[in-house]
Each structure stands twice: as structure tokens, then as C-alpha cells.
Amino acid sequence: MFQGLSLSTMLFDTTFNTSFDCIEVLKQEYGYTFPCVDLTKLVTGYADDIALFTETAVANQFIIVDVECWLNWTQTMKAKPRKCCATAMTNGKPCDPKLTINGLAVAWIKDNLFKFLGKQLLANVSDTAARKKVEKTVLDGVTKIDALPLTGVQKMWIFEAVVMSHLSWDFMVHDTWCMRDVQPHCYYVQVTT
């Protein structure tokens, strides 16, 4: 099976999804139970992106070892520690959980952005950075467009066709905050005919 064929991705997803099944049986014992909501979560993800939610770093390390065992069982897959990252919350503040995978330390997110399923998040799981990125893209785009010697209709077409295409992924993967945050800046596009 060649990589890139439609069937190869379906086979990979079908095979890899068994890792979720392997982990999910441990949900009641190791999963994170959200306060004020009747919800316990242990694993989420898509394709080869996995996020683990546990009450303690020790529990998370146990699940990581379980994932490593599953990967070894496949005989063809292994974790890539350099692509892994982790964070923990203690009293509402992000901290390093000091996890390892394949004997190597998992990088703590700290002040760096990380992407999970296309969402840009910070160590405290805030989407502030994504909001700032959207705002900067809009402001940069409208500033450049506004400086062009074009009519208002032409400027609006460029805004819709170019600037909005750069934002479409962010609008798709993040919640509806984008429209609320961008609207105040739309007045920068001057429409003159």
C-alpha cells in the first residue's frame, strides 16, 4: 500500500483507532473527571494526535506506558518524543508534569504555543494566542488592502478572497469567538465607490 492513497489513510485510521480502544478501558480508574459536570475524559484525538487527561502526572505516565506497549505491539509504529508535549495544572496554574516517553523527557509547553487538532493553545489551554493571530491577520490584511489604489468593491473582493481564506482554518477549528473578536476591526476596510 503506497502512502498517500485514500485507502492507506483509512487503513491507518482503522488500525490506530484501536489504540483509543486499548486506553479507553482505563477511563474510570485514570480519567479526569471535570468538576461540576458529569464527564470523565481520558483520551481524545484524531489520526495520530492523542491527548491524555488524568488527575495526576503518575496516572498520565501510566497511560503513556500503556500507549508505548500498544505501539510496540503493532511492530511498525513508535512514538516520536520530539513531537510530544505536555502540561499540567496545579491550583489553576500551568506546570511541568515531567513525563517521559520511550525513556526521553516530554517537552513542557511552558510559554510556547502547541497545536492540537489544528487549534493553537497555550500551556493553560487558553486560545489567547489564536485570537491574537486572527486579529493580526485581519489588521495586516486590511491595512495592506486599504493602501491599494482600488475601489471599495475591489477592496472588499480582495478581503473576502484573500484575507478570509487565510482565516478559514482558524474559524473552522476554534469556537465562534472569532467573529465577535474580528468585527470591531472591520471598520478599517474603507468602502468607497
Q: Alpha-carbon torsion 101, 73, 45, 165, what sign?
A: positive
Taking the domains of the chain in order of start, what are their residue ranges? 6-121, 128-188
Question: Quick check: helix, strand or coil at residue 185?
Answer: helix
Question: Quick check: helix, strand or coil at residue 52?
Answer: strand
Question: Quick check: helix, strand or coil at residue 21?
Answer: helix
Q: What is the mean pLDDT of the chain?
A: 79
| H/E segment holding residue 89 | strand 88-90
| H/E segment holding residue 43 | strand 43-46
Per-residue pLDDT of the chain (193 residues; tens, 9 = 90+): 566 677 877 777 777 778 888 888 888 888 888 888 888 888 887 777 788 888 888 988 998 898 898 888 888 888 888 888 888 888 778 888 898 888 898 888 887 777 777 777 766 666 777 778 788 888 898 899 989 998 888 988 988 888 888 888 777 776 645 445 444 443 334 343 3
